[in-house]
Amino acid sequence: MQFPILRRIHDLYRDPEYFSEALKLALPIMAQQFMFSVLNMVGVVFVGQKGETAVAAVGLAGQAAFLLNLVNFGIVSGAAMFTAQFWGRKDIPNLRRVLGMSMGLALAAALIFLFISQFAPEAFLNIYSKDPAVIALGIDYMRIFSWSFLITAISSSYAMVMRSTGDVKTPTYIGAGALALNTLLSYALIFGKFGLPELSINGAAVANVIARILECAVLLMVIYTRKLPVAASLRELTDLDIPFLGRVLRPMLPVILNELFWSLGITAYSVIYGRMSTDALAAVNIISSIEQVAFVVFIGISNATSVLVGNRIGAGKEEEAHLYAGRSIGLGVGGGLLMGILLQLLKAP
């Protein structure tokens, strides 16, 4: 190679072990995220059969879940920084303590959003829209859908820690099955198929709650019957003290706040679109489901990187951890440029 920068790039990415481990972790996550994005688009199509007001109502009611999901992502990804390190040095007791702490934080956040959804849904929806028809539909949907928050807090905490131990396939397969069930039940309950009642858009909310409960039940059954590393007892999950909490929470807090403020910034767009018109809000909700497909690769890379880097820090291989982090950043930047070009080429004329 004649150009020094190309030689440096070639040398940086010539390690087959990095790609082997990264792909092993990233591909199942990417597959699950792709399935989630596609099935989410299918769900939007189902709801779209009930009209633009229904699409807007589901989109607005989903803002509570969006905010909570990103807060939870900050919690579990912050916890994964430690669980990956503890797994790297095979420190199972502390790994389980971090699992208990992250689950407690996730459940606390879920309780806050559940309370808002049950007792103040109208006030929440009024932030985004003044259309009484949208708010009326959104209130019932939000009250049903929000019962999945507590269940999701538990399953997402276990799933993230499992991934940090290198077990990516188990939560991915179970999650993919739950997504497929959610889509099938949504179709049946929205339109009254297979002998089930026709619940319109509330059917999608009921389907989500059922799918999340079954997902969590199956995940916990697999974890505790197989006695996986995350199969912690209640005593192990609650074996926390102030020094340990401080040591873990201090670096976690910036991650949680980053996700919180970023989610608030994104949801501000929905406030703007909702004040423009119901049609504009419905259109944006449809487009956002397409956007999710574009993020599939990056979600896989970021999850794989957190595990790879954390494991190496825990094993005392800090130089290798820095190298792996740099490689993943390069892949993320290159992938972002490629995805941007593809979206420009494939957009409607």
Distance of alpha carbon 147 from the chain centroid: 17
Model confidence pLDDT, tens digit, residues 78-110? 888 888 888 888 899 999 999 999 999 999 999
Contacts (Cβ under 8 Å, ≥6 apart) of 222: 170, 174, 228
Position with higher pLDDT, 336 vs 291: 336
Tokens in use for 228? 């996986």
Instruction: Give the pLDDT score at 1.
Output: 47
Amino acid type, 56: A
Instruction: Give the pLDDT score at 189.
Output: 94
The rounded distance, in Å, linking the Cα atoms of 75 and 249 is 9
Q: Which sign, positive or negative, has the C-alpha torsion 289, 36, 158, 251?
A: negative
Contacts (Cβ under 8 Å, ≥6 apart) of 342: none
Model confidence pLDDT, tens digit, residues 139-169? 999 999 999 999 999 998 999 889 888 888 8
The rounded distance, in Å, linking the Cα atoms of 167 and 174 is 12
Range of the domain at 114: 4-346
Contacts 24+ apart (CB under 8 A), 280-285: 281/56, 281/59, 281/60, 281/128, 281/129, 281/134, 282/52, 282/53, 282/55, 282/56, 282/59, 284/59, 285/44, 285/55, 285/56, 285/58, 285/59
Count: domains in the chain: 1
Model confidence pLDDT, tens digit, residues 166-189? 888 899 899 889 988 999 999 999
Tokens in use for 119? 């007792």
Tokens in use for 85? 């390190």
The mean pLDDT of the chain is 82
The rounded distance, in Å, linking the Cα atoms of 122 and 147 is 17
